[in-house]
Amino acid sequence: MIKTILVTGGTGYIGSHACLELLEAGFDVVVVDNLSNSKSDSLSRIEEMTGREIQFHLADLRDEKAMKDLFDGEQIDAVMHFAGLKAVGESTEIPVTYYQNNIGGTANLLQAMAAYGVKNIVFSSSCTVYGAPETLPLREDFPLHAVNPYGQTKLTIEYMLRDLAASDPDWNISILRYFNPVGAHRSGEIGEDPLGIPNNLMPYITKVAVGELEELAVYGDDYDTPDGSCVRDYLHVVDLARGHINALKKLDDNPGLIIHNLGTGRGYSVLDVIHAFEKATGKPVPHRIVGRRPGDASAVYADPSLAEQELGWKAKRGIDEMCVDALRWQQQNPKGY
Ligand code: NAD
Ligand code: WQD
């Protein structure tokens, strides 16, 4: 029985929501994070909310000695592997750092897991591995293609996990391909806390909605979509976190390597998201149409039916709830953690 979970990147946005769901589902949680893109306050808040303790290791996955010490000191049954660098633009500026951190860190983690006989892992992959989609909705068996260094690291890690599963049938590996995670826990206690000015749509809009940033630049209204702005599959982060619990439970059946999309299956345009935010705040969101952002696909959304069939998971929260929860987090924590 899987009982104690090592959550890598557990102080970060998605990892922290997963920690909360894990504790509420009765698992014990150990976190490792180097705090390169997060603060440990997320864990203190989760401990307060749940009355449960989280063992926190401040360490880098690339540090072999630290990983050995961690596995020596803890009895781990499975790993949820969120740790990684994730900014697409930055990955084109410092690609080697992305390869070193994401691929090197994962290789080191897997070696440590093998050495200690821990062979259950859930990995954070991304819809970016499908590249620019030719057919929608995206299914897990569609061709894979990286379009930037960040995506290349996710794809390479997927291949590494595939080879690992083929080499040793004792491994149970769940690859989850997330679409666009947004929102926050409804308590407003944990949420997305990006450093500096956000790159992604939802954290940017929330800051415009509370007046911290002046206006949103909408990257293009001349795409081949119903209103001309890009369409994405936005997914509430709590639904996403819960998907990880379903995947983890599936690993108990010794499935070998399994791959699932986690999305709602429904696409919303940038303008739809702006309107949903306006509904949440009751005020207009100042925005201006500008040119396209290089590298953006016009529409991306999942076929999430395999996750429903095989994991018994389906996203429950809609766009309005995503906006209301993102806004609550921003209003309660104007400066983040
Ligand atoms: P995040 O930056 O909030 O969390 C990642 C965490 O990993 C951070 O706390 C960071 O400090 C830590 N970390 C990075 N490198 C590390 C290392 N070498 N050793 C130890 N800790 C390290 O990002 P997130 O949005 O929570 O994303 C979590 C995972 O999900 C990432 O792997 C990301 O690529 C993937 N993902 C995210 C999205 C998204 O839109 N947020 C979409 C698809 C996939
Ligand atoms: C969403 C839409 C923009 C900001 C990224 C990664 C992907 C995955 C999910 C990790 C796009 C538009 C944005 C702004 C805008 N992450 N936009 N003004 O690019 O779909 O996906 O996160 O794996 O790999 O690429 O997300 O939030 O950046 O953009 O108009 O200020 O909002 O053009 O259509 P994206 P995003």
Q: Residue 165 domain-assigned?
A: yes
Q: Residue 32 domain-assigned?
A: yes
DSSP helix/strand/coil, 307: helix
Tell me the average pLDDT across 58-81.
98
pLDDT at residue 210 in the model: 87
Q: Which domain holds residue 26?
A: 4-185+234-264
What is the C-alpha to C-alpha distance for residues 193 and 22, in angstroms, rounded to an integer?
A: 21
Q: Residue 218 domain-assigned?
A: no
pLDDT at residue 112 in the model: 98
- Selected catalytic residue, list 98, 150, 223, 234: 150
Q: Residue 211 domain-assigned?
A: no
Q: Residue 325 domain-assigned?
A: no
CATH number, domain of 64, equals 3.40.50.720
- Atom 23 (ligand 2) nearest CA: 126
pLDDT in tens, 190-239: 999 988 899 999 999 999 988 899 999 999 999 999 999 999 999 999 99
pLDDT in tens, 151-183: 999 999 999 999 999 999 999 999 999 999 999
**89 phi and psi, to 5 degrees?**
-60, -50
CA–centroid distance, 12 to ligand 1, in Å, is 6
Asked, as a colleague might, if the bond just before 169 is cis with ω within 30 of 0, I would say: no
The answer, yes or no, to whether any atom of ligand 2 lies below 6 A from the CB of 221, is no
Tell me the average pLDDT across 233-257.
98
Q: Residue 323 domain-assigned?
A: no
- Tell me which ligand sits closest to the C-alpha of residue 262: 1
Name the burial class of residue 198, with classes exposed (0-12), middle (13-18) and buried (19+) by CB atoms within 10 angstroms of its CB: middle
Q: Indicate if 204 belongs to the active site.
A: no
Number of Cβ within a 10 Å radius of residue 181: 24
For the chain, the domain total comes to 1
- Atom 29 (ligand 1) nearest CA: 82
Query: Side chain identity at 318, as an amino acid letter?
Result: G
> Is the dihedral angle over the CA atoms 121, 115, 83, 137 positive or is it negative?
negative
307, pLDDT greater than 90? yes
Q: Residue 296 domain-assigned?
A: no
Give the mutation target among 82, 180, 195 for probing the ligand 1 site: most ligand atoms within 8 A of CB: 82
Give the mutation target among 232, 269, 277, 322 for probing the ligand 2 site: most ligand atoms within 8 A of CB: 232
Q: Residue 191 domain-assigned?
A: no
Query: Side chain identity at 73, as an amino acid letter?
Result: G
